[in-house]
Chains A and B, each alone.
Chain A
Amino acid sequence: MGIIENINKVFDHRIRLGIMSILMVNEDADFNRLKELLDVTDGNLASHLKSLEKEKYIHVEKQFIGRKPNTRYSTTPLGKAEFKKHIEALEKLLRK
């Protein structure tokens, strides 16, 4: 396949792609909401969230609701820009 630099390896996975899709159109989402929408196991989701966090594509905010811990995720400006580039690259690729 040609040299398309904008195809982002980080997004080359269904779950990471899904997480970003959800966070692009929502201000934020918590762990359970992501889990429910993506239909994945806790461990699986957590590891993909970690890798997106490591790339600084998503922002993680831990807080407590009552006594229950609650983690909310949102996109960073970098993550938004990278995701847009990725989608544009996908579309370009398909238009060829």
Chain B
Amino acid sequence: MSEQDYLKDLSEIKNLMTKSSRFISLSGWAGIMAGVYAVIGGIVAYYIVTNSAREYLILDGYIFKLIMLDLFLIAFLSILTAVFITTRRAKKDGVEIWDDTTKRLLINFLIPLITGGIYIIIILGQQKYGQTGALMLIFYGLALVSAAKYSIGHIRYLGFIEIILGLICAIIPGYGFWLWMLGFGAMHIIYGAIMLIAEKKK
């Protein structure tokens, strides 16, 4: 075998390792849109709370339900957009979307996320509202870090940032709303934009 062949071997190894273990088709647009939904949803929540009869953040039954619906819509629209963009792109690239890598990515993403979600619902049921923003950021960050192993890009760093924001939020819960907007809104938009630029460069 010649040197050229060995070189080809090495690049083939690298290529197969990446292709077989990493989920490639996530687009920057999914991140940007998730950030936009979070910002809109955040503004709506801010509006709902400040316009409620009492001007402080103790949530009665009605307001509480509206906020929950708002959060649900943000999550639902983000997921729907990500799934839509990803399947369309995978079809264009001619790659299989529902393979072992996708499954592993989803499982590793969902375990911390669902744990966090259930935990938050439990403590909300005990009237402990103060740490909700912090917990959402922390568990979401952990979910990203845990999924990062199965994806290309820098989801791990986005995860670290969300965790740090969550911890800051735990110290100063009074700024919870703004940190939430920063973590779920601004960070997603910035991250999505970085991904888009990287995609364009290729």
- A: which residues have CB within 8 A of B? 12, 14, 17-18, 21-22, 24-26, 29, 33, 36-38, 87, 90-91, 93-94
Contact = CB atoms under 8 A, between A and B. Distances in A.
What secondary structure prevails in chain A residues at the interface with B?
Answer: helix
B10 A94 contact: yes
Given A33-B99, A33-B100, A36-B96, A90 B9 contact: yes
Interface of B: 1, 3, 6-7, 9-10, 12-13, 16-17, 19-21, 96, 99-100
A89 B12 CA distance: 16
B20 A87 contact: no
B4 to A, nearest CB: 10
Nearest to B19: A37
B21 A25 contact: yes
Nearest to B100: A33
A17 B9 contact: yes
Task: Identify the 4 closest CB pairs spanning chains A and B, nearest first.
Answer: A21-B16, A25-B21, A22-B20, A21-B13
B1 A12 contact: yes
B20 A26 contact: yes
Contacts of A91: 10
Given A17-B12, A24-B17, A25-B21, 9 more contacts: A18-B16, A21-B17, A22-B16, A22-B20, A36-B96, A36-B99, A37-B20, A93-B3, A93-B6
B2 to A, nearest CB: 9
B99 A22 contact: no
Contacts of B1: 12
A43 to B, nearest CB: 21
Contacts of A18: 12-13, 16
Given A37-B19, A94-B6, A29 B12 contact: no
B10 A29 contact: no
Contacts of B7: 94
Contacts of A94: 3, 6-7, 10
